[in-house]
Structure 1
Amino acid sequence: MHDDATLRQIEAADPTANTWLSANAGSGKTRVLTNRVARLLLTGVSPQNILCLTYTKAAASEMQNRLFGTLGDWAMKPEGALRKELEKLGETDTGDLSRARRLFAAAIETPGGLKIQTIHSFCAAILRRFPLEAGVSPQFQEIDERSAKLLQADVLDAMALGPERAALEGLARFYTEADFTALTAEIVRRRGGFAGAVAEAEIWGWFDLAPGFGEAEVPEIAFEGSERALIQRAGPILAGQSPTMQTLAATLANLNFDAPGRADLDALFEAFLYKGTAGAMAAAKTKSVPTKKAAEALGATLGPFHDFMERVARAREAELALDAARKTLALHRFARPFVAEYETRKQ
């Protein structure tokens, strides 16, 4: 008798069925796959005609060890014990045990060994069989993770001492030295996206920014020219309200309406906007600023006041978009020569 879990594993190991197996770690997936291969061999499938692919070398090694262990055990088991073992697998025809005993030798003698390998090594084997069609050298070697990191570091060193130094320094403004290891690895993985040059105007368009938009244009989004008169009306009203509104009134009174700059924007961002993730601020506090009592006191001035707050929010959004666009531009200016040098050194 088998419990439900065992029966499901036997069904999954049935080589006559197409099976998609999903289970948690440690639940017996490797055993099921090993049993499936063993049952394929029992049906007469030649070992060289079976292909098993895994994600990692460790998984491939474990599966191969388990399979050889199972087949070797069958070769040595007494007849009664072997018959019970095969019945546990789900094999109903256990009359001829000699085939099961010969499987270990057949697997050992298979030319090239059992094909239990990683997806990576399988693809490399195909490329070696068809180097001309794939456009690779027949003597190529797969680069391992450690070698790839060393190669990426060598390329960075070469860029730091060569004509692409400016591209490296441009990206370094946005990333720490520790970030570069992960960043360059990701660039290599996505290197197809950096094959062609991308113009600044195109990148600005990705972020809904006009060509040439810069820091000087950010205040123009918030300040349209009517703010001085607005604050002259609203300021005295806010100054007569709660301490919080009095602080807001003082902040607004200190704004430079003639030539608003960085300090003015920062003061408005702090006063008018909610703080988001990682300090990003874009949503206006129109539901809480001004307070209910102050809003009633503002009367008809409340609408223009909230409009001003919304313009400040749009200015912050544009500033965040500009920062993202500059990072993206720096990334593309760096990645293109980095990938080219990486590919050259990798050959």
Structure 2
Amino acid sequence: MDFLKRLFGDHDDLKKVTAETTRLQSDASDPTCSVWVSANAGTGKTHVLTMRVLRLLLAGTAPERILALTYTKAAAAEMSKRVFERLAAWVTMEDRALASALEELTGRAPSADEMRLARRLFAIAIETPGGLKVQTIHAFCERLLQRFSLEADVPPGFEILDDHEKAELLSEAMDEMLLAATAPENAKSPLAHAMACAVGYATERGFEELLGEALGHRDWLERAGGAARPDADLSVAEESYARALALPAGESHAAIEAAVEGLLTSQDLARIKSVLESGTKTDQSLASDALAVTRAAPGKMRFEAYCKLFLTQGGEPRKKLMTKALVDEYGALHEMFCRAQTAFVRIVERRCALQVYEASLALTRIAGFVMDRYRHLKAQRAALDFEDLVAKAAHLLERSDAVEWVLYKLDGGLDHILVDEAQDTAPLQWHVVRALAQEFFSGEGATQDKVRT
């Protein structure tokens, strides 16, 4: 209580804050308005959704025409529990207590018809075929696909893979990829090259972790052209990655390594070496690196020698190429040395971009192959995973030939959509919600003489 006093001031201030919060929650639960509620954790967002469901029912909305989507099964169970507890309590409340409860919920005194309806809502909700639809987005998509399996092009009576089963099938798909990549007949295939490239670029995070992340981008893998063939065409990915990394056409490691040849002449390097040898131990160490550049063969060896000269072990540009005494005495030479370092850093950035391009393309090819095999293994079992539920539902509602029929059937059964934890709803899940709601505001759905939110 002392904390609340320090936060809000005296008792009257606390009452004002409480009253304002209650008013805002009442506005947000108004069943005649479409609203978005943004608030911190623990401030009553789920409570507002529960109030909204109750007010919709009290306003005469049939339970089957309400869809409440939650982020987890636990949240769905909790919201259903809250709704049915309130409805059950209304059945046996004394008239005065019921009137007070309904007035607190709606902000006005209830009519006699509302009082009678409130006492019947528990039985109505219980007897509704299919029940009050408070469920996760995955549960909703599962029911949708079961109802329209033919239109969605999914196996009737499909099974849903749990996390363990999904991991087993993915592991099997990865094994098939490894067999294909190492098969003698595929030794010169793009898949074999991609495997060698990916393993070469893999860091301490591990190849499997990187592959797992890539497999999470299913839409991109499909658009990129990843397929089961070891030589699948990835031109879409190639163009996209090259554009994102600003790679010039025909960029190659050979061209990048050749670009360092004009940084410093042999005379420049000899002069730099001579000056550095006259300095401190730090200068003398760089003098050895300058000599190594002179002696290195053109190409990769000279590029690596320049890396040692101009960069730290961590790959960052050296902050000092000469100590202060040498800079003061050989200022012009130091400036030339620094210009060469700046030019080399730009060349290194070119090489980094090319490496990212090669690694990304290799990972895309490998992940595309694995995903295709995983898809084949699921088809053999007539199974879908949780990501498939949402993806297939979104495709059914947005892009399939049967979309008008499906939306018509659903449109006849939904008037209100509520989404809990909307900030955690993935883009593809929002595609499902958007497709469901679009009929509210277009065509016959927009002309019906009723409020739809």
TM-score range normalised by the length of the shorter chain = 0.7 to 0.9
- Write the letter of the residue equivalent to 2:234: V
Match of 2:45 among 11, 29, 43: 29
Residue 159 of structure 2 is aligned to residue 123 of structure 1: no
Residue 167 (structure 2) aligns with = 149
Moved more, 95-104 or 119-128: 119-128
Residue 314 (structure 1) aligns with = 346
- TM-score w.r.t. the length of structure 1 is 0.84
Moved more, 50-59 or 177-186: 177-186
Question: Does the 8 Å CA contact 2:181/2:195 hold for their aligned counterparts?
Answer: no
Residue 183 (structure 1) aligns with = 213
SS in 1 for 2:30: coil
Q: Find the aligned partners of 2:154 and 2:111 in 1 and give their Cα distance.
A: 51
Question: Does the 8 Å CA contact 1:68/1:104 hold for their aligned counterparts?
Answer: yes
Q: Find the aligned partners of 1:184 and 1:233 in 2 and give their Cα distance.
A: 50
SS in 2 for 1:23: coil
Q: Find the aligned partners of 2:377 and 2:74 in 1 and give their Cα distance.
A: 29
- The answer for unaligned runs of 5 or more in structure 2 is 1-14, 184-191, 227-232, 380-453
Q: Find the aligned partners of 2:195 and 2:264 in 1 and give their Cα distance.
A: 44
1:245-304 Cα offsets, whole Å, 9 max, x none, are 2332232123344515666544533442367xxx443x564xx43345423422443443
Residue 84 (structure 2) aligns with = 68
Q: Find the aligned partners of 1:314 and 1:182 in 2 and give their Cα distance.
A: 32
SS in 2 for 1:53: strand
Query: Using a 3 Å threshold, how does the CA distance of structure 1 residues 261 and 292 change in structure 2: closer, same or farther?
Result: same
Query: Using a 3 Å threshold, how does the CA distance of structure 1 residues 339 and 269 change in structure 2: closer, same or farther?
Result: same
Residue 134 (structure 1) aligns with = 152
The alpha carbon displacement at 1:61 in A equals 1.7
Question: Does the 8 Å CA contact 1:284/1:310 hold for their aligned counterparts?
Answer: no
Residue 99 (structure 1) aligns with = 117
Name the count of aligned residue pairs: 340
Residue 449 (structure 2) aligns with = none
Query: Using a 3 Å threshold, how does the CA distance of structure 1 residues 187 and 150 change in structure 2: closer, same or farther?
Result: farther
1:148-185 Cα offsets, whole Å, 9 max, x none, are 22221121122233456635565344442551563354
- Write the letter of the residue equivalent to 1:248: L
Q: Find the aligned partners of 2:283 and 2:343 in 1 and give their Cα distance.
A: 20
Residues 1-347 of structure 1 aligned to structure 2 (within 5 Å): 3-96=19-112, 97-162=115-180, 166=192, 168=195, 170-175=197-202, 176=206, 178-179=208-209, 182-183=212-213, 185-188=215-218, 190-195=220-225, 197-198=233-234, 205-206=242-243, 207=245, 208=247, 211=250, 213-214=252-253, 216-224=254-262, 226-257=264-295, 259-260=297-298, 265-273=303-311, 279-281=314-316, 283=317, 285=319, 288-347=320-379
SS in 2 for 1:223: helix
Query: Which of structure 1's runs of 4+ aligned residues deviate more than 6 A?
Result: none
Q: Find the aligned partners of 1:297 and 1:264 in 2 and give their Cα distance.
A: 29
- The answer for unaligned runs of 5 or more in structure 1 is none
Q: Find the aligned partners of 2:121 and 2:35 in 1 and give their Cα distance.
A: 24
Query: Using a 3 Å threshold, how does the CA distance of structure 1 residues 290 and 229 change in structure 2: closer, same or farther?
Result: same
Moved more, 94-103 or 298-307: 298-307
The alpha carbon displacement at 1:126 in A equals 3.0
Query: Using a 3 Å threshold, how does the CA distance of structure 1 residues 280 and 152 change in structure 2: closer, same or farther?
Result: farther
Query: Using a 3 Å threshold, how does the CA distance of structure 1 residues 11 and 164 change in structure 2: closer, same or farther?
Result: farther
- Write the letter of the residue equivalent to 1:123: C
SS in 1 for 2:293: coil
Root-mean-square deviation (Å): 3.0
Question: Does the 8 Å CA contact 1:221/1:314 hold for their aligned counterparts?
Answer: no
Q: Find the aligned partners of 1:202 and 1:98 in 2 and give their Cα distance.
A: 66
Q: Find the aligned partners of 2:238 and 2:222 in 1 and give their Cα distance.
A: 21
Moved more, 145-154 or 293-302: 293-302
1:290-345 Cα offsets, whole Å, 9 max, x none, are 34542342244344322321232133223322321221232133123212212211
Residue 422 (structure 2) aligns with = none
Q: Find the aligned partners of 2:373 and 2:276 in 1 and give their Cα distance.
A: 61
- Write the letter of the residue equivalent to 1:171: A
Moved more, 138-147 or 19-28: 138-147
Moved more, 201-210 or 309-318: 201-210
SS in 1 for 2:85: helix
- TM-score w.r.t. the length of structure 2 is 0.66
Question: Does the 8 Å CA contact 1:201/1:211 hold for their aligned counterparts?
Answer: no
Q: Find the aligned partners of 2:344 and 2:312 in 1 and give their Cα distance.
A: 12
Query: Using a 3 Å threshold, how does the CA distance of structure 1 residues 178 and 335 change in structure 2: closer, same or farther?
Result: closer
Question: Does the 8 Å CA contact 2:289/2:308 hold for their aligned counterparts?
Answer: no
Q: Find the aligned partners of 2:201 and 2:39 in 1 and give their Cα distance.
A: 41
SS in 1 for 2:330: helix
Query: Using a 3 Å threshold, how does the CA distance of structure 1 residues 292 and 163 change in structure 2: closer, same or farther?
Result: closer
Moved more, 128-137 or 32-41: 128-137
Question: Does the 8 Å CA contact 1:164/1:337 hold for their aligned counterparts?
Answer: no
- Write the letter of the residue equivalent to 1:333: R
- Write the letter of the residue equivalent to 2:267: A
Query: Using a 3 Å threshold, how does the CA distance of structure 1 residues 115 and 344 change in structure 2: closer, same or farther?
Result: same
